[in-house]
Amino acid sequence: MTTRNTIQKKLYQIIFEHDTWEGRAFDVLLIVLILASVAAVMADSMVDISLRYGRYLFVLEWMFTILFTIEYLLRLYSSPNPAYYARSFYGLIDLMAILPTYASLMFPESRFLIVIRILRVIRIFRILKLMEYVEELEVLRNAFQSSWRRILVFLTTVLTIVLIVGSLMYLIEGPEAGYTSIP
């Protein structure tokens, strides 16, 4: 057995398994970091707090992002099948949790999408082994799978109507009434 395999197996036990005390401690620490990260983003969205502590919140957000990026890379490294993990539900959630911060380098307003990180709290269900008892999740998944086309048509119709009405409001009311852009 090589050192790399030993390290990968130990990391796998800590990161993916929650039956050991290290795994539970890792999951609890991860949830605390996720909640703290979401709280920082929410605080930064408040003008008074952002003006006063914006610089600290910015640094804090990058610290969280770097930690979550390292964690994501360690998950890929320790996974027996990294490609499968990257495409899995949790893998996609983990990736979506870090991408908005990097996207904010090019699109500054996208940084508030970081609130997506709250989805990572879903890991609590895995830690507490509740996922196997939540049959409603499977029912919801099946319902969505069988009707995703109808949902897509509905959402497209609603978005089209909103865009048309928004454009009309912009053209009719104009900047004088507070409509400075279509969005």
Nearest of 86, 151, 155, 88 to residue 122 by alpha carbon: 88
Can you give the pLDDT at residue 172?
81
DSSP notation for 68-92: HHHHHHHHHHHSSSHHHHHHSHHHH
User: Using 50, 70 and 90 to split pLDDT, how confident is the model at 72?
Assistant: very high
Buried b (16+ CB within 10 A) or exposed e, 33-59: bbeebbebbebbeeeeeeeeeeeebee
Query: pLDDT tens, 73-130?
Result: 999 999 989 999 999 888 888 888 788 788 878 877 666 566 666 666 665 555 555 5
**Overall average pLDDT of the 148-174 stretch:** 84
Can you give the pLDDT at residue 123?
57
Can you give the pLDDT at residue 119?
65
Tokens 């008074």 correspond to 48
Can you give the pLDDT at residue 75?
92
- Give the span between the Cα atoms of 110 and 90, in whole angstroms: 22
Amino acid at 89: F
Polymer length of the chain: 183
Can you give the pLDDT at residue 71?
92
Q: Which domains does the chain have, with CATH numbers?
A: 3-131 (1.20.120.350), 134-183 (no CATH)
Query: pLDDT tens, 14-35?
Result: 888 877 888 888 888 888 888 7
User: Using 50, 70 and 90 to split pLDDT, how confident is the model at 2?
Assistant: low
Query: pLDDT tens, 123-160?
Result: 555 555 555 555 667 787 888 889 988 988 898 889 88
